Amino acid sequence: MTEPDHDGVDLDRPNAVRMYDYYLGGTGNWAMDRALGDRVLAEVPVAPLIGRANLEFLERVVRFCVRNGIDQFLDVGSGGPAVGTVHRIADSLDPASRCVYVDREQVAVAHGQLLLEREGDPERHAIVRADQRDPDAVWRAALGTGVLDRTRPIALIFCAALHFIPNDEPADEIVAGYRKRLPAGSYLAISHATYDDLDVPADYAASIRAAFELYERSGTPAFSRRYDEIASFFGDFEMVEPGVVWLPQWRLDEAPSPVTQKFVARPSISIGWCGVGRKP
């Protein structure tokens, strides 16, 4: 096994974004990702549905933001973005919309560059490599693309990304660093995995903990946080109704998908808290 590179990323271990791609039936994953992914799936066979519930939240967020006048997106921890494709959803509603993707993982960023070369507009779409734990670096890299206008509202998205910040690092301070940089009228959208607060049968809760432990073998261990910790990421932002809720509960303004219907009776099976806040 090689040492991680200077950004703490190594290519010799399974990676969360490629495992996520595997659960969702994508092709951007390697044998080692599938091997660890299979062990997670053995513990949590609904992992692909959890991934879908997260993606559907992301899609609803983008539609909500465009409907509320947002035309610029900053998607941090975006992955490729072969899976969560903010620019496609935004473009379908507003062809002048702009989107910058940020991820730390070099393969995801390289794939994202290829994807945007094929289907993006360089004036309106970009992907940069940066570490979400450094708001200043992310901000500089994102604005450095020339795609975003820092004087107008931006939707900043952390979808299934902040749970990769270790519990012993100041996640609250990090997210505050982004909140203070956003212009007034901007939105902050977050989804975050948890094994706390779950209202599920004991054997499912144990499997979720086991899955978190399996991620410790990857280059991207994940860290659970409680409802209060996730709600505090929004600081003094005004929460969009219905506040911080489980993934299948956030603004089901469209006909509920089969995934959402599966989780509706016990939404915490989705193991993801989510919410959207607006900067006053």
Ligand X SMILES: C[S@@+](CC[C@H](N)C(=O)[O-])C[C@H]1O[C@@H](n2cnc3c(N)ncnc32)[C@H](O)[C@@H]1O
Sites of contact with ligand X (CB under 6 A) = 16-17, 20, 54-55, 58, 77-79, 83-84, 103-105, 108, 131-133, 159-161, 164, 220
Query: Among residues 91 and 105, whose Cβ is nearest to ligand X?
Result: 105
Query: Among residues 71 and 131, whose Cβ is nearest to ligand X?
Result: 131
Minimum distance of ligand X from residue 280's CB (angstroms): 26
Tokens of 84: 């969560």
Minimum distance of ligand X from residue 227's CB (angstroms): 19
Q: Are 99 and 4 in contact (CB under 8 A)?
A: no
Minimum distance of ligand X from residue 151's CB (angstroms): 25
Whole-number Cα distances in Å, 70 to 95, 176, 224, 238: 12, 21, 30, 16
Query: What is the sign, positive or negative, of the torsion defined by CA atoms of 30, 19, 86, 261?
Result: positive
Query: Among residues 74 and 159, whose Cβ is nearest to ligand X?
Result: 159
Minimum distance of ligand X from residue 58's CB (angstroms): 5
C-alpha to C-alpha distance for 177 and 156, rounded to whole angstroms = 12
∠ CA(43), CA(248), CA(208), 5° rounding?
20
Query: Among residues 221 and 238, whose Cβ is nearest to ligand X?
Result: 221
Tokens of 139: 């901000």
Minimum distance of ligand X from residue 21's CB (angstroms): 9
Query: Among residues 14 and 79, whose Cβ is nearest to ligand X?
Result: 79
Minimum distance of ligand X from residue 24's CB (angstroms): 8
Task: Tell me if residue 9 falls in helix, strand or coil.
Answer: coil
Tokens of 34: 């599938």
Tokens of 194: 């948890």
Query: Among residues 221 and 235, whose Cβ is nearest to ligand X?
Result: 221
∠ CA(63), CA(118), CA(91), 5° rounding?
20
Q: Do you find a cis peptide bond into 242, omega within 30 degrees of 0?
A: yes
